[in-house]
Structure 1
Amino acid sequence: MKIFMFPGQGAQRIGMGAGLFEAFPDLVAQADRTLGYSIADLCLAGPIERLTRTNHTQPALYVVSALKFLQMETRPDIVLGHSVGEYAALFAAGAVDFVAGLKLVQRRGELMDRATGGGMAAIIGLDADQIAAVIRDNSLSDVFVANYNTPRQIVVSGAKDAIVAAEPLFRSAGASHYVVLQVGGAFHTPFMEQARRDFAAFVADIAFATPTLPIISNVTARPHDPARLRERMVEQITAPVRWCDSIRWLLAKGARFEDFTEIGPDGPPVVKPMVKRTETEAGPLDPAILAAEEAQAAAAAPPPVPVPASAPPAAVPGRFRIGSAAFCQSFGLRHAYVAGAMYQGISSVEMVVRLARAGMLGFFGAGGLSIAAVGQAIAAIQAELPDRAPFGVNYIAHVNHPALEEQLTDLLVQTGVRMVEASAFMDVTPALARYRAVGLVEENGRIRATNRIVAKLSRPEIAELFLSPAPERVVARLRDSGAITAQQAEWLGRVPMADAITVESDSGGHTDQGMPFTLIPAILRVRDAVAARFPDFEPIFVGAGGGIGTPEAAAAVLMLGADYLVTGSINQCTIEAGTSPVVKDLLEGAAVQDMAYAPSGEMFELGSKVQVLKKGLFFPARADKLVALYRQYESLDAIDPASRRQLEDRTFQRPLAAVWDQVKARLSPEEIERAERMPKHKMALVFRRYFKDCSRWALDGDTSHKVDFQIHCGPALGAFNQWVADTPLASWRNRHVDEIGLKLLAETARVLETSFARLEGQAR
């Protein structure tokens, strides 16, 4: 077994690379163009102050290690690298080419070099458990293990002052050495979260090839899963380097000390001595652990699929593409994956941008925001994304306030937003039809829609409305008022209102509590029945949303015929979600059973329901109580004294008269007059204030009202939490909306492949 190891920071020295740069002039020239400076001058002449800056050290080590690898006469069976050295290992295994690897390291070094206020210290003489005990027993919340180099040589990292102050604690626990390192950042700890986040956005544009040989991951201490290379290399910035465990795993697989070769700058070896100390102090992993891992991997691997010699390729289950390729092409996406809008900017600018950069579609959560706030969000998204990058804005129906729809259409047209997610519509409104009309063009006798509508709905009869042209009465009104031209009116009669239908099953927020197994087939049949009416228009796609938080759920709706996946609740518990950390902490601990149906603040008079988080919260019970009182009494004054006292002391925490004064301050004179004339309506307005307050308190993270938080959420999040338990994604602070989307897609493909193999085996 030949194992090549690549060292990380600390291996650099003036003069490194001598003889290599002359041997590979073309690659050196590529490196110089990429970096914008002479890599040979830096490595050979320094100065040392420049060479030891992280933004220069990391590219220098990568280039020297990569060239040294190319100079080797033999090729390895396995590769691994310590921290930044892992990128040289990626190059050696063919996962990245020379320039792509250098770009990754350059950006990584730049981001890590920006870190300030951090420190690191090498500890010798204590094992991992002893160091963990010191950290735990002394509540060292700003100190973390960064590198497990050998069983008794471990590096801690964290806030600079905390690292310096911790020396007596570790020495009193038995450490023989405690050496504070000359670094400015708390590398491989949560302090590097911003660097990790920025690096994830950058790495999305770098292509990784399938490695030609195993690469041991710093994060897992096991060979990389090729499907998760990108994810692991991003995670590596904040995760500890598990070097000792990597060596012990290799020893358990039969490696000997003589099999390890260090590939890097000439001079005293850096990582090779760690192999000897690990072999001496701990030896290989317990064979029982290795056997258990191998048994688990074998059980999880799909059985081989027999391929009939005469079967055409399309008839054989293989590497599944998730969703419709035509949908991706039509909407300009790399993945048939959509994140539905969540109101009041919970589907944030950051969320939409990350999804677009990853080739996915996100809708900004415009519901409940002012037109000015929506305009600012659109400008921010457009500033971050190149032209034609896919993104959309939520377009929520306002039955009682049509002027709000008109204002939104004006804004969307003015800003050039080309896609909306239409939700809560019971009919096609003039404002939505106008948005559709002004984006219609005719090319070679065919009508094309540049203003695209994805209709989110849960009833087949509403689907039929959106799968038909705009109603003639609506079109006539728009034409006669001059809102659209006669030509646009004629075109509206030749196209459906929607380009795609998202079938919303039981979900967070407003829900009809529908089941995907009945809704999706029914709406697919409606779609297929009307398709013949528009032979010259693009295909109309049907997606599935609601309840999708695991690969099994995603695979199920795809098998029902969904063209694309739509997630919602799981995205609310991510770094990018525009809600408070307090809410995210609550959501992170939610299970499938921790949701409840509560009255809708906007439409409780009609019996409308929303699905919300109930665990640890009083909101569902208090909302139900308000609706019960509304149905029982005809006015606020009629409420019995005990109930009124409970409302004022616990629910509103102020007199009902004071609540009315706050509500009244936002109403027009006409609305105030109506409320005073209709006591029941006045009661509804006052009660509705509680619902609005509960949403605002949650979004703001107002812990003084924590038990009253209104958090729209479906059981998909509970299922997701269970799925990712005991992984880094267990914490929302490690969840990025695009990364969990990619993970869900990859694992869904595996579920489908395994399921088809099993079914085919049963059939045989």
Structure 2
Amino acid sequence: MKAFLFPGQGAQRIGMGEGLFEAFPEQTACADSVLGYSIRELCLTGPMERLTQTQFTQPALYVVGALTWLKRVADGAKADYLLGHSVAEYIALFAAGVVDFETGLRLVQKRGALMAEATGGGMAAVLGLEAAQVEDIIRRHGLTDIFAANVNTPKQIVVSGKREAVVAAEPLFLEAGASHYRVLQVSGAFHTPFMQPARDAFTRFLADIEFRAPQVPVISNVTARPHRPDAIARLMAEQITAPVRWSDSIRYLLAKGLAFEDFEELGPAGGAVVKPMVKRTQLEAGPLDAAELAAEETAEAPTVEAPTRMNGTRHKAAGFGAATLGSASFREDFGVKYAYAAGAMYQGIASAELVIRMAKAGLLAFFGAGGLPMPAVEQAIQRIRSEIPPGAPFGMNFIAHANFPQLEDDLADLLLRHEVRVIEASAFMEVTPALVRYRAKGLSREGGKIKAANRIVAKISRPDVAAQFLSPAPERLLTRLLESGGITPDEAALLREVPMADALCVESDSGGHTDQGMPFTLIPATLKVRDDAQARFPGFARIHVGAGGGIGTPEAAAAVFVLGADFILTGSINQCTVEAGTSDAVKDMLEGMNVYDTDYAPSGEMFEMGSKVQVLKKGLFFPARANKLVSLYRQHESLEEIEPALRRQIEERYFKRSFDEVFADVKASYRAAEVERAERQPKHRMALVFKRYFRDTTRWALAGDLEHKVDFQVHCGPALGAFNQWVAGSELASWRNRHPDIIADRLMAETASLLSRRFSILLGEGGS
């Protein structure tokens, strides 16, 4: 195999392209016509001051690289892979037949002109530190004006941002162990969010460009994977603001079996710019993990149609690919590679690490904000933003607080302040003012259609609640918010023309809070609600219906896709991963559970209303003890009414202290009005004391407090038991090898394979 590499900006030099312009006069004349100056004269004689200006450098590199490729082809070269660094990716696209010579040049000319308009930026090469260390330094020191822009090798990272910030950061990186820190001679903060104006303008320019399917795989700088024909335009615009993942691209090709000698650099420097990065990457990291790559590629397999014989007639058997399951518009609207999301798990179990890992893989995950104080949620948002590529998908959980609406308002304020664009609304029985206010901000009318900047994915388990979220905001709430100044009249008018949610997730029997619903009844009923709503909002985007709860195997995922789900949302199976924010002790227990190892227990916050949660029961006393406490609450009006021997037993075994000592702690953590009510009402005092057990059991589990192991409260559904059986005997049998994105790849790939097999059987054995 052979991979050809093309170097980008920085490789330019006087005299480059000598002999090529005469060899390819037609292309040279075309370049002169497009550019309005002699490309031969610029490349051969300069001056260097002009050749190093971005608007001239980029077209010059493109022309020389393209002509070098044409000469190599004339000499008999054949490529198996093509890869260009930054602007040189356009040379690779030309070489692969995606664009012709002139179109590629016009794209590069426009790109160079737009990027040249950026001023006040700077870049610096950092040697000796890995990307994770660079990002950690940026995060720890609050360097909000600097980003990791190019990952050239595992230990050669280029940072980019505001020039003064880049220059000032040198001692921080050297103190952290960098062997060199060299500020580069550029004027723009290339490959960072500061280039967003250039990206936006370039996106508009790309609208009229036709990209053909690559004849040879071209590795994308943004994804470090081969370009897909339907995503080339989007990724080439994104490339302006996204980091160049050169090292990962090389590691991908090494994993495909290429050796150092299989790489050839074509460009002005004769192999001295990007090919040495191959050797450094080989020595410092080596190829990507073969098993993970295989699962990923299976997941990306395209949909195919294979002929099969059925009763003497030729028919087409269904073929499925992971990237084609579910709704294409869901993938496009949420910017993800699969119709798949990882749901929020409270108390940060769906952690920042989990969300970051998923976002970097092009997948949507929701941070588990429920039960966390606002400073912790804000810190999570800031960390996620600092570690994921610009525009990468992520969301935050927004849990209902029926008894404490101020908590909803506080969270809405936080999300709006940080411009969090996607939320998972959970446990809502009705739309609330805080949700309406979040939805209102960013609504706009564009070309006769209304667009929502802030998107809501509502988890529902009843069609009547679904109908509320697929209706406009209630008029009574609009009136209240208008009177309080929470929304403007213009926002109220737009709210009357859009549904409250962009997507619904039908939550069947699941871990944590559950109505124990069945997907086979809930999904069809919800699809009917969605279809009716879609007809009422012709000026709004497509409304999506997904499925969650019970999804831990390909069979379960296939079932809900066949029912009509636009996407799937997983939960329990992500709780048993390296990135999940719970203790190793809990993960060890979850790894060993089966489908019958869960039970239903009262909800700690809402047991007075009969609310239930599904929890792990294997080896635990929590479900039985929680049910016992609620039974006592229903049978008695005060703690004093409980039979003394039973009371002592509960104090000693459940709480390991007296009820009076528990209530003393309660008084220190609840609001004064709540404590006053408890002191006046013995029944309420009993409720607060019992709720402390539920709170403690969660805390013990998250911390892995083995002294209280039998009382761990672990929200979990049987989907994880089914998942454990599915992966038994594989590398994913141990939770220490499980990562949420790898699970997503494997689950979607196997679901696609299963559907292909099942539909082929149905077509082969059914009637014509």
Amino acid at match of 1:536: G
Q: Match for residue 398 of structure 2?
A: 395
Kept after mapping to 2: 8 A contact 1:96/1:209: no
The secondary structure found in structure 1 opposite 2:355 is helix
| Deviations, residues 371-403 of structure 1 (Å, cap 9, x unaligned) | 111011001111112332211110000001000
Please state if 1:703 is matched with 2:706. yes
Match of 1:369 in 2: 372
> Residue 333 and residue 29 in structure 1: after superposition, are their counterparts in 2 closer, same or farther (change >3 A)?
closer
CA distance in structure 1 between the aligned counterparts of 2:314 and 2:541, rounded to whole angstroms: 28
Name the amino acid aligned to 1:586. M
- Residues 600 and 28 (structure 1), Cα distance of their counterparts in 2 relative to 1, 3 Å cut: closer
739, 752, 757: which is aligned to 1:754?
757
Question: Would the aligned equivalents of 1:333 and 1:360 in 2 still touch at CA under 8 Å?
Answer: yes
Are 2:540 and 1:537 aligned? yes
How much does 1:32 deviate? 13
Alpha carbons of 1:312 and 1:325: their partners in 2 closer, same or farther (altered >3 Å)? farther
- Deviations along 1:432-489, one digit per CA (max 9) or x if unpaired, are 1010011211112321111100000100000000000011000110011111101111
Shift in alpha-carbon separation, 1:33–1:734, aligned structure 2, 3 A: farther
CA–CA distance in structure 1, aligned partners of residues 333 and 131 of structure 2: 39
Out of 550, 553, 559, the residue aligned to residue 550 of structure 1 is: 553
Tell me whether 1:595 sits opposite 2:613 in the alignment: no
Is the 1:338–1:361 contact (alpha carbons within 8 Å) kept by the matching residues of 2?
yes
Q: Which residue of 1 aligns with 2:150?
A: none
Distance between the aligned counterparts of 1:324 and 1:310, measured in 2? Answer: 34
Deviation per CA, 1:406-457: give whole Å up to 9, x if none: 1111111110001110000011101110100112111123211111000001
Q: How does 1:283-682 map to 2 (within 5 A)?
A: 305-306=307-308, 316-320=317-321, 321-682=324-685
* 1:300-327 deviation digits (Å, cap 9, x = unpaired): xx996417999999x6512331111011
Match of 1:256 in 2: none
Taking a change above 3 Å as real, the CA distance of residues 430 and 551 of structure 1, as seen in their structure-2 partners, is same
The answer to whether the Cα contact below 8 Å between 1:96 and 1:208 also exists between their aligned partners in 2 is: no
Letter in 1 for 2:566: D
Tell me: CA distance 1:640–1:558, structure 2 relative to 1, closer, same or farther (3 Å): same
Shift of the alpha carbon at 1:208? Answer: 5.5
Distance 1:638 1:335, change over 3 A: same
Counterpart code for 1:726:
G
Match 1:205 to one of 223, 234, 249: 223
SS in structure 2 at match of 1:610: strand
The alpha carbon displacement at 1:360 in A equals 1.1
Q: Give runs of ≥4 in structure 1 deviating > 4 Å.
A: 26-34, 92-100, 109-114, 302-305, 307-313
Partner of 1:722 in structure 2?
A: 725
Deviations 1:148-177 (A, max 9, x none): xxxxxxxxxxxxxxxxxxxxxxxxxxxxxx
Residues of 1 paired with 2:426 and 2:131: CA distance?
Answer: 42
Letter of the aligned partner of 2:635 in structure 1? Q
RMSD: 3.7
Q: Deviations over 1:326-371 (max 9, x none)?
A: 1111111111110010001111111111111111111110000011
Unpaired runs of 5+ in structure 1?
5-23, 35-69, 76-91, 115-201, 211-229, 238-301
**Is the Cα contact below 8 Å between 1:337 and 1:741 reproduced in 2?**
yes
Q: TM-score by structure 1 length? A: 0.62
Number of residue pairs the alignment of both structures matches: 514
**Amino acid of the residue matched to residue 692 of structure 1?**
R
Cα offset, 1:667, TM superposition: 2.2
Which amino acid in 2 is paired with 1:728? E
Distance 1:757 1:362 in 2: 33
The one-character-per-residue Cα deviations of 1:493-547 (angstroms, maximum 9, x if unpaired) are: 1100000000000000000000000000010011112211101100100000000
The structural deviation recorded for 1:709 is: 0.5
- Taking the aligned partners of 2:484 and 2:495, their CA distance within structure 1 comes to 16
Is the contact made by 1:303 and 1:758 (CA closer than 8 Å) also made in structure 2? no
* Cα distance per residue 1:46-90 (max 9 Å; x no partner): xxxxxxxxxxxxxxxxxxxxxxxx9xxxx9xxxxxxxxxxxxxxx
* Counterpart-to-counterpart distance in 1, 2:658 and 2:425: 38
Whether 1:737 aligns to 2:740 is: yes
Counterpart of 1:338 in 2: which secondary structure? strand
TM-score by length of 2: 0.62
CA 1:335–1:638: 2 relative to 1, 3 Å: same
Closer/same/farther in 2, CA of residues 617 and 491 from structure 1, 3 Å limit? same
AA of the residue aligned to 2:318 = P
Measure the CA separation in 2 of the matches of 1:452 and 1:29: 40
In structure 2, what is the Cα distance between the partners aligned to 1:629 and 1:113?
52
Distance 2:704 2:458 in 1: 31
Distance 1:655 1:755 in 2: 59
Distance 1:535 1:32, change over 3 A: closer
Offset of residue 206 of structure 1: 2.1
Q: Establish whether residue 684 from structure 1 lines up as the match of residue 687 from structure 2.
A: yes
1:245-273: per-residue Cα shift (whole Å, max 9, x none)? xxxxxxxxxxxxxxxxxxxxxxxxxxxxx
Shift of 1:696: 0.5
Structure 1 residue 669 displacement after superposition: 2.5
Question: Does the Cα contact within 8 Å between 2:599 and 2:614 map onto a contact in 1?
Answer: yes
Shift of 1:95: 7.4
Tell me the SS of whatever aligns to 1:306: strand
Residues 446, 650 of structure 1: CA spacing in aligned structure 2 closer, same or farther, 3 A cutoff?
A: same
2:459 aligned partner, one-letter code: K
Pick closer, same or farther for the CA change 1:585–1:32 going to 2, 3 Å.
farther
Unaligned stretches of 5+ residues in structure 2: 12-71, 90-125, 134-219, 229-247, 256-303
* Mapped partners of 1:670, 1:452: distance in 2: 36
Q: How far is the alpha carbon of 1:762 from its aligned partner? A: 1.1
Q: Structure 1, residues 683-709: CA drift from partner, whole Å, max 9, x if none?
A: 000000000000000111111111110
Change (3 A) 1:209 1:437: closer
